[in-house]
Chains A and B, each alone.
Chain A
Amino acid sequence: MDFNYTDEQNALRDTLSRYIAKDYPFEARRALAKSAEGFSRDHWKQFADLGLLALPFPEEFGGLSGNAVDTMLVMEAFGRGLVLEPYLATVVVAGHLIRDAGSAAQKEAILSAIAGGERMLALAHYEREARYKVSLVNTAAKQDGAGWKLSGGKGVVLGGNAADTLLVTANTGKGLSLFLVDAKSAGVAVRSYMTQDGGRAAEIALDNVAVGKDALVGPEGSALPLVERALDYGIAALCAEAVGIMAALDEATLEYLKTRKQFGQPIGRFQALQHRMVDMVIATEQARSMAMMAAVKADSPDAAERRRAISAAKTYIGQQARFVGQQAVQLHGGMGVVDELNVSHYFKRLTMIELTFGNTDHHLGLFSDTLLAA
């Protein structure tokens, strides 16, 4: 076991922390969230220049061969900055999926385009009826000559507004399969909207969308474990993002306790508030430990071990994030519920993270059920 970061990882952290502090101020981010696209192509270009978009990909495809701990460091910084760009959708979820399941030609074409910032992707997987059940997909793919025709509906597709390419899951007769679909294809209807936290997502309807035979990613009928693994990378990343936000909220709240005066003294002199603050810090440190575990286990070749760890982290961090978010708002008093202060924005993002890729109840159920097997 080793709890130290490498020199490269420390350099990455420094770069990211400078970038977020200097180039991603809260006021600019607020304006960006309200813009038409909801994020900045300039920032995306800078991410490419910094190598962030190439981080998890093999060097032979223009990547940096980073691991999930590297992604954790990026997402933690992005949490602090409340970064709006679709890094999670494009690089973490779709990027890992192509990396792990794509053919050499698909990797060649797509990974280098992601790394260069030229192409955005989104995984169009979850469906409304399924809620968080990853294996339940009603979208169907029918063989059509050499290619396929896809029909169905995908819900709350993160980054679906900006994706050039959709990774669509659909059932063929042989089981769950994964297809690359150009978002501009005939029959694809994208209804984009803003999310509670200022991000963007989309409802996507597919009506007899024709794709070629080279659109299939991985063997037909084999997509479920691949999608699960990619989502687990996404969950590990969300856990890290949550920890970045929790740490930022702790700092903001501590500062507020030291400066806000009532009854003639800083409110941080009151023990009721001191102990609440301590509980927040403990929750954050415990959540950080779980985010580290999630990152390390996300790369584990043992799927059962990986999924147990990921569900554990998502459950625990969901609980701690809810506590820290709610208490940061409470300790800021009225200032905690206004739009002009970053606290309410951090709180909303934490809350949406809790609801994404399986909420706390869902993952507690998955984790708890592993106790039956042991």
Chain B
Amino acid sequence: MDLNYTPEEQAFRAEVRAFVTGHLPADISAKVKHGKRLAKDDFVRWQKILHQKGWGATMWPTKFGGTGWSAVQQHIFEEECAEAGAPLQLPFGLKMVAPVIMAFGNQAQKDHFLPRIVDGSDWWCQGYSEPGSGSDLASLKTKAENKGDHYIVNGQKTWNTLGQYADWIFCLVRTSSEGRQQEGISFLLIDMKTPGITVRPIIMNDGEHEINEVWFEDVRVPAQNLVGEENKGWTYAKFLLGHERTGIAGVGRSKAALKHLKEIARKETSAGRPMIEDARFRDRIAQVELELMALEITNMRVLSAEKEKKAPGPEASILKIKGSEIQQAIAELQMQALGHYALPWLPEALDAAWTGVPVGADYVTPLSGHYFNYRKTTIYGGSNEIQKNIIAQMILGL
């Protein structure tokens, strides 16, 4: 056992850094570093750049166009991307629907969808939660009637992230009301341009349009868009959630956020002295750094072990719980570092084209909104309480 990077891994990091800093468009990294609003095109441009290099899907096996990298290499890649201010590669296509298509989809689905995910052609979104089905996801009611060569879908999905940009949505739908509720669920891929789909924004606590409700009214979906078998969707759904949890620790991004926090704590002052010299505040930063140091190692221990097993296990729930708690703790300290300059709300300043004068320091504007927004992290992807149920049942046998 050795937690030091090997010379090969150090060389790999240098290669990744050279590519990322050399090819990440400056306008995009400026937006990310200053917490400005990102446009759809910012995400897509970066995905296409990575794809051209052959790094579009670092978590995929090579036979589907991935890099086949080790857990450590992926970690290095994520760390370097976060450090450089690259936009997050959104998980909905790459880390959520793609593993399901690889594991359970037919050849035609693999051939059509996977290349379009990795090259940035298709933007995917998620149709899981419903107004009445949050943590109790299997109670979902969105109905798909089997009409032979097609399904007719009716119902409502919610907490749909960035679906306003999406080309496709993967949906859990009810195809049977017989037996246990888990046994009547199917996994459908639906073209967002299909008539009968309505996307309605939900404005978040930071004033931003990040999530949506998606309504389905007699939406006709070709039967060939069913993944795997009808009524087996719950199995695929759980498989997907395992993959989602794996990517969710966000160690690389939290390291970049912690670095930003320290920079802020050096610039913000109290009675004329930098906040970093306030031992009470500094200890709180130290505390979250300790949590992150431990998680960085736990993350790679779990991912390395999973590589050998080929699929994420319930241990990924540990990563989700700690990762989300750390993200929230850093966001909270970033806001607290500002003192009362956390109060001003200037949503117009989140626009990259804004040329006005900020209130307070130039890094202030996005931080409070980020804190409010990040309360989502312990809720989404299965709330942390649900993750604890998973660990209790799947690992501990309680």
By a beta-carbon cutoff of 8 Å, the part of chain A in contact with chain B is: 1-5, 9, 69, 254, 257-258, 268-269, 271, 274-275, 277-279, 281-282, 285-290, 292-293, 296-297, 312, 315-316, 364-365, 367-369, 371-372, 374
Q: Is the CB of A3 within 8 A of B398?
A: no
Q: Is the CB of A3 within 8 A of B304?
A: yes
| Set of chain A residues within 8 Å of B301, measured between Cβ atoms | 3, 289
Q: Is B293 engaged at the interface, CB distance under 8 Å to the other chain?
A: yes
A285–B276 Cα distance when bound, in Å, is 30
Q: Is the CB of B388 within 8 A of A278?
A: yes
By a beta-carbon cutoff of 8 Å, the part of chain B in contact with chain A is: 1-6, 9, 72, 262, 276-277, 279, 282-283, 285-287, 289-291, 293-298, 300-301, 304-305, 318, 321-322, 385, 388-389, 391-392, 395-398
Q: Is the CB of A289 within 8 A of B290?
A: no
A9–B289 Cα distance when bound, in Å, is 30
Q: Is the CB of B392 within 8 A of A275?
A: yes
Of B296, B298, B301, B392, most buried by chain A (CB within 10 Å of CB) is B392
A335–B239 Cα distance when bound, in Å, is 40
19 A-B interface contacts by CB (under 8 A): A1-B2, A3-B1, A3-B304, A4-B1, A9-B1, A258-B398, A274-B389, A277-B392, A282-B391, A289-B295, A289-B298, A290-B297, A296-B2, A312-B289, A316-B291, A316-B293, A368-B282, A368-B285, A372-B282
Q: Is the CB of A2 within 8 A of B1?
A: yes
Of B2, B322, B395, most buried by chain A (CB within 10 Å of CB) is B2
A69–B2 Cα distance when bound, in Å, is 9
Q: Is the CB of A275 within 8 A of B291?
A: no
Q: Is the CB of B290 within 8 A of A316?
A: yes
Question: How near does chain B come to A106, taking the closest CB pair, in angstroms?
Answer: 30
Q: Which residue of A lies closest to B285 (CB)?
A: A371
Beyond A1-B72, A286-B291, is A372–B4 a contact (Cβ under 8 Å)?
no
Q: Is the CB of A364 within 8 A of B293?
A: no
Q: Is the CB of A367 within 8 A of B286?
A: yes
Q: Is the CB of B3 within 8 A of A364?
A: no
A268–B191 Cα distance when bound, in Å, is 45
Q: Is the CB of B293 within 8 A of A293?
A: yes
| Set of chain A residues within 8 Å of B297, measured between Cβ atoms | 289-290, 292-293
Q: Is the CB of A286 within 8 A of B298?
A: yes
Q: Is the CB of A312 within 8 A of B396?
A: no
| Set of chain B residues within 8 Å of A286, measured between Cβ atoms | 291, 294-295, 298, 322
Q: Is the CB of B298 within 8 A of A315?
A: no
Q: Which residue of A lies closest to B280 (CB)?
A: A368
Question: How near does chain A come to B159, taking the closest CB pair, in angstroms?
Answer: 23
| Set of chain A residues within 8 Å of B296, measured between Cβ atoms | 289
A116–B305 Cα distance when bound, in Å, is 39
| Set of chain A residues within 8 Å of B6, measured between Cβ atoms | 1-2
A69–B389 Cα distance when bound, in Å, is 34
Question: How near does chain B come to A67, taking the closest CB pair, in angstroms?
Answer: 9
A368–B296 Cα distance when bound, in Å, is 19
Q: Is the CB of B398 within 8 A of A274?
A: yes
Beyond A9-B1, A290-B294, is A268–B286 a contact (Cβ under 8 Å)?
no
| Set of chain B residues within 8 Å of A258, measured between Cβ atoms | 397-398
Beyond A286-B291, A368-B282, is A275–B395 a contact (Cβ under 8 Å)?
no
Q: Is the CB of A371 within 8 A of B2?
A: no
| Set of chain A residues within 8 Å of B294, measured between Cβ atoms | 286-287, 289-290, 316
A277–B397 Cα distance when bound, in Å, is 11
Q: Is the CB of B1 within 8 A of A364?
A: no
A4–B2 Cα distance when bound, in Å, is 8
Q: Is the CB of B2 within 8 A of A275?
A: no
Q: Is the CB of B2 within 8 A of A281?
A: no
| Set of chain B residues within 8 Å of A1, measured between Cβ atoms | 2-6, 9, 72, 300
Q: Is the CB of A367 within 8 A of B290?
A: yes
Q: Is the CB of A277 within 8 A of B276?
A: no
| Set of chain B residues within 8 Å of A369, measured between Cβ atoms | 282
Q: Known contacts A286-B322, A371-B276; can you find 17 more A-B pairs with CB under 8 A?
A: A1-B6, A1-B300, A2-B1, A2-B2, A2-B6, A271-B389, A275-B392, A278-B392, A278-B396, A281-B391, A282-B391, A293-B297, A296-B3, A312-B290, A365-B279, A367-B289, A371-B289
| Set of chain B residues within 8 Å of A296, measured between Cβ atoms | 1-4
| Set of chain A residues within 8 Å of B396, measured between Cβ atoms | 254, 274, 277-278, 281
Beyond A1-B72, A286-B322, is A371–B262 a contact (Cβ under 8 Å)?
yes
| Set of chain A residues within 8 Å of B389, measured between Cβ atoms | 271, 274
| Set of chain A residues within 8 Å of B395, measured between Cβ atoms | 281
Among A3, A257, A297, A367, point to the contact of B300 (Cβ < 8 A): A3
| Set of chain A residues within 8 Å of B279, measured between Cβ atoms | 365, 368
Q: Is the CB of B282 within 8 A of A371?
A: yes
Q: Is the CB of A364 within 8 A of B398?
A: no
Question: How near does chain B come to A371, taking the closest CB pair, in angstroms?
Answer: 6
A368–B389 Cα distance when bound, in Å, is 35
A374–B396 Cα distance when bound, in Å, is 41
Q: Which residue of B lies closest to A9 (CB)?
A: B1
| Set of chain B residues within 8 Å of A279, measured between Cβ atoms | 388
Q: Which residue of A lies closest to B287 (CB)?
A: A364
Beyond A281-B395, A286-B291, is A274–B388 a contact (Cβ under 8 Å)?
yes
Q: Is the CB of A282 within 8 A of B322?
A: yes
The 8 closest A-B CB pairs, nearest first, are A289-B297, A368-B286, A274-B392, A286-B294, A278-B388, A268-B398, A289-B298, A316-B290
Q: Which residue of B lies closest to A275 (CB)?
A: B388
Beyond A1-B2, A293-B3, A364-B287, is A275–B300 a contact (Cβ under 8 Å)?
no
A1–B75 Cα distance when bound, in Å, is 11
